[in-house]
């Protein structure tokens, strides 16, 4: 069942962050939400996460309105926000530990550690890891929960260019393996088009959806595709909306 | 108390990371790309003089020079020996205090007495103050009930309570322990509250999206997040507690280091007074060091975000 955003408005005091936003996100798709800073794209993500509630309208998951955060919709933020007092392994197991009743499936934890290329660092603490590795731990911490939806709020925004590139490639491979729905917020046009199945471009003040389109590129993405006419066409469209 | 953790931290690290390291130390690496660049800059040999050895050597030199200067001044009889005994005289007084004692008990007795009072008073302040601070930070009603007392109590120097405590409880153990408690607990409570409030909101959001309940977030996120500030408060607090205790012993006691200093002073035994002061200083410093050692074990991530 898809995530359905129905005519959502979000006000912060007198400031209207989002107005009349409607969007349907099909299961298993990779949706990128592109917009300038302050256009409300993170607000939209936090609404889907359940960290915020809409002022008007509603958001449905399996036809049930989203009221609060839950481990079926894990968020990866721009900063990794790891727990500095926990080792890498315990950070990744954090969500499993929070599940009352059930014990921790350490096999699953170690499997995710392997997938994320973090083997050999299990006992390290976050401050002993590089920024790129910390963000991989944050993604692993989300993945281990087997979330239906992975919400990513500019997860590579704080990384340097090379690391960001590697992480984007890695995320695409990962998505091919896990098949979860990914909602990925970014202000980087190339990143948005390169990663997404579907591209949502937002306009600011108040935040509204300007363009919603399929990305007509083959799924096996390559950085050569940034020269593909279809890529350039989309990029031009997005730039027009963003006013660059 | 508004002592920022950074401030206390810097003080604590002053010896290791003195600004006098010299001009050859590279600046902090820029954060951009720091991720992939090997630590070449950090591990590159600085060459030349090993500065931290020099600074340790400097400390010892300064102490030795000060003692020699002291000896010279007292040998020259600039001041009468009764007012300024020589270091040798102080050393002899120290030995005498250890072996024979003064005023009925030995130095060790006084140290044990004072240390026990501190342990109970300060331990009580931490055991009560941390939960009170946590409750106040989490519950608005509790905050409103306790905060006025805290705001009133803070500007009152704890020493002002001594006469009252003596009238109420005499000169036994209870008034001293109570004084330490009253003087220290606001520091601990306020540090705990600010530790809780300083928990980054996104750290909590992460736990929420991972399915943690309110109680779990409190135990697994907020409490550990507050620990570094609680330790800072404890380090400030142990100083306050020690000051309170020595002052209380100066005024109303028949045992303890404060009493020793006061009693010897009245008899113009200045050498003993100086021994007492040095012991008080060393013990206070040792207590802070102890907390710092515990802190390093409990919050090793401190200073690393």
Residue pLDDT, tens place only, B227-256: 999 999 999 999 999 888 888 888 877 888
In angstroms, the CA B1 to CA A11 distance is 38
Q: Do B207 and A84 touch (CB under 8 A)?
A: no
CB B162 within 8 A of CB B248: yes
Provide, as residue numbers in chain B, all residues whose Cβ is less than 8 Å from the Cβ of A98: 207, 210-213, 216, 220
User: pLDDT band for position B18 (50/70/90)?
Assistant: very low
Sequence-separated contacts (24+) of B17-22 with Cβ below 8 Å = B18/B51, B18/B55, B20/B51, B20/B55, B21/B51, B22/B48, B22/B49, B22/B51
Is B57's pLDDT higher than 90?
Answer: no
Q: What is the mean pLDDT of residues B82-109?
A: 87
Q: What is the mean pLDDT of residues B119-141?
A: 93
| B33 min Cα distance to partner chain A (Å) | 5
CA atoms within 13 A on the CB side of A32: 23
| A229 min Cα distance to partner chain B (Å) | 32
- A-chain residue closest to B297, CA distance: A85
Residue pLDDT, tens place only, B30-47: 333 334 434 444 444 455
Give CA angle at A137 (B223, A223), nearest 5°.
145
User: pLDDT band for position B48 (50/70/90)?
Assistant: low
Residue pLDDT, tens place only, B175-200: 889 999 999 999 999 999 999 998 99
pLDDT lower than 50: segments of chain A: none
Pick from A243, A214, A217: nearest CA to A231 = A217
Q: What are phi and psi of A149, to 5 degrees?
A: -130, 130
Q: Which secondary structure element, helix H or strand E, spans residue A111, and what is its range?
A: helix A106-115
Q: What distance, in Å, lies between the first and last C-alpha atoms of chain B?
A: 23
Sequence-separated contacts (24+) of B79-83 with Cβ below 8 Å = B82/B268, B82/B270, B83/B270
Predicted local distance difference test score (pLDDT) of residue B250: 83
Is B12's pLDDT higher than 80?
Answer: no
Predicted local distance difference test score (pLDDT) of residue A156: 86
DSSP string, B56-78: HHHHHHHHHHHHHHHHHHHHTTS
Is B305's pLDDT higher than 60?
Answer: no
From the list A70, A159, A163, the residue facing B211 with the nearest CB is A70
Predicted local distance difference test score (pLDDT) of residue B47: 55
In angstroms, the CA A156 to CA A143 distance is 16
Q: Do A127 and B36 touch (CB under 8 A)?
A: no
- B-chain residue closest to A81, CA distance: B203
Which residues from A are below 8 Å from B when comparing CB atoms? Answer: 49-51, 68-71, 73-75, 77, 79, 81, 83-85, 94-95, 97-100, 125-127, 130-132, 141-142, 145, 151, 159-163
Report residue A131 as tokens.
């920024």
- A-chain residue closest to B202, CA distance: A81
pTM exceeding the 0.90 threshold for the entire prediction: no
In angstroms, the CA B209 to CA B212 distance is 7
Is B28's pLDDT higher than 60?
Answer: no
Predicted local distance difference test score (pLDDT) of residue B20: 37
- B-chain residue closest to A78, CA distance: B202
Residue pLDDT, tens place only, B272-297: 999 999 999 999 999 999 999 999 88
Kindly report the length of chain A: 244
Pick from A189, A145, A143, A146: nearest CA to A170 = A143
Q: Do A74 and B305 touch (CB under 8 A)?
A: no
Which residues from B are below 8 Å from A when comparing CB atoms? Answer: 32-36, 200, 202-203, 205-213, 216, 220-221, 224, 227, 299-301, 304-305
Q: Do A94 and B200 touch (CB under 8 A)?
A: no
| A137 min Cα distance to partner chain B (Å) | 13
Is B303's pLDDT higher than 80?
Answer: no
CB A153 within 8 A of CB A78: yes
Mutation target for B interface from A46, A82, A85, A152: give the one with most B CBs within 10 A.
A85
Mutation target for A interface from B31, B34, B35, B215: give the one with most A CBs within 10 A.
B35
In angstroms, the CA A43 to CA A194 distance is 23
From the list B209, B213, B304, the residue facing A75 with the nearest CB is B209
CB pairs under 8 A between A and B: 90
| A22 min Cα distance to partner chain B (Å) | 23
From the list B33, B205, B221, the residue facing A51 with the nearest CB is B205
Q: In this prediction, what percent of chain B has a pLDDT beyond 90?
A: 36
Q: In this prediction, what percent of chain A has a pLDDT beyond 90?
A: 13
């Amino acid at each position: 069942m898809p995530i359905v955003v129905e005519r959502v408005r979000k006000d912060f005091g007198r400031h209207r962050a989002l107005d009349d936003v409607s969007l349907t996100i099909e299961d298993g798709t990779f949706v990128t939400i592109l917009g300038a800073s302050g256009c409300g794209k993170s607000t939209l993500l936090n609404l889907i996460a359940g960290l915020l509630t809409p002022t008007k309208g509603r958001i449905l998951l399996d036809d049930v309105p989203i009221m609060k955060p839950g481990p079926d919709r894990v968020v990866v933020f721009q900063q990794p926000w790891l727990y500095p007092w926990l080792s890498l392994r315990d950070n990744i197991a954090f969500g499993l530990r929070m599940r009352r009743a059930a014990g921790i499936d350490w096999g699953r934890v170690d499997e995710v550690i392997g997938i994320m290329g973090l083997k050999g660092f299990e006992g390290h603490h976050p401050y002993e890891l590089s920024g790129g590795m910390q963000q991989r731990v944050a993604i692993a911490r989300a993945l281990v929960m087997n979330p239906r939806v992975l919400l990513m709020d500019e997860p590579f925004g704080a990384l340097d260019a090379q690391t960001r590139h590697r992480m984007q490639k890695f995320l695409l491979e990962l998505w091919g393996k896990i098949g979860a729905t990914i909602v990925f917020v970014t202000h980087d046009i190339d990143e948005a088009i390169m990663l997404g199945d579907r591209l949502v471009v937002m306009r600011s003040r108040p935040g509204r959806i300007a363009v919603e389109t399929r990305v007509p590129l083959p799924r096996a993405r390559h950085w050569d595709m940034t020269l593909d006419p279809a890529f350039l066409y989309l990029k031009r469209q997005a730039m027009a909306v963003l006013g660059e | 108390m508004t002592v920022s953790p950074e401030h206390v931290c810097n003080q604590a690290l002053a010896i290791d990371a003195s600004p006098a390291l010299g001009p050859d130390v590279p600046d902090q690496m820029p954060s951009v790309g720091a991720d992939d660049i090997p630590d070449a800059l950090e591990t590159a040999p600085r060459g030349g003089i090993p500065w931290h050895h020099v600074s340790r050597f400097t400390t010892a030199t300064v102490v030795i020079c000060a003692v020699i200067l002291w000896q010279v001044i007292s040998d020259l009889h600039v001041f009468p020996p009764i007012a300024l005994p020589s270091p040798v005289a102080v050393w002899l007084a120290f030995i005498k205090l250890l072996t024979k004692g003064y005023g009925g008990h030995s130095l060790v007795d006084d140290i044990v007495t004072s240390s026990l009072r501190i342990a109970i008073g300060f331990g009580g302040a931490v055991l009560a103050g941390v939960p009170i601070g946590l409750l106040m930070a989490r519950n608005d009603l509790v905050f409103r009930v306790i905060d006025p007392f805290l705001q009133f109590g803070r500007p009152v120097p704890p020493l002002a309570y001594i006469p009252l405590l003596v009238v109420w409880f005499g000169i036994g153990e209870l008034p001293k322990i109570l004084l330490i408690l009253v003087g220290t607990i606001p520091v601990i409570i306020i540090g705990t509250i600010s530790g809780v409030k300083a928990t980054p909101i996104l750290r909590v959001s992460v736990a929420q999206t991972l399915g943690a309940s309110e109680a779990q977030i409190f135990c697994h996120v907020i409490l550990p997040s507050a620990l570094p500030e609680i330790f800072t408060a404890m380090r400030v607090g142990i100083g306050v507690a020690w000051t309170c205790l020595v002052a209380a012993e100066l005024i109303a006691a028949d045992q303890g280091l404060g009493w020793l200093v006061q009693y010897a002073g009245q008899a113009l035994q200045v050498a003993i007074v100086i021994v007492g002061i040095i012991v008080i200083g060393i013990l206070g410093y040792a207590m802070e060091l102890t907390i710092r050692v515990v802190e390093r074990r409990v919050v090793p991530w401190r200073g690393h975000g």
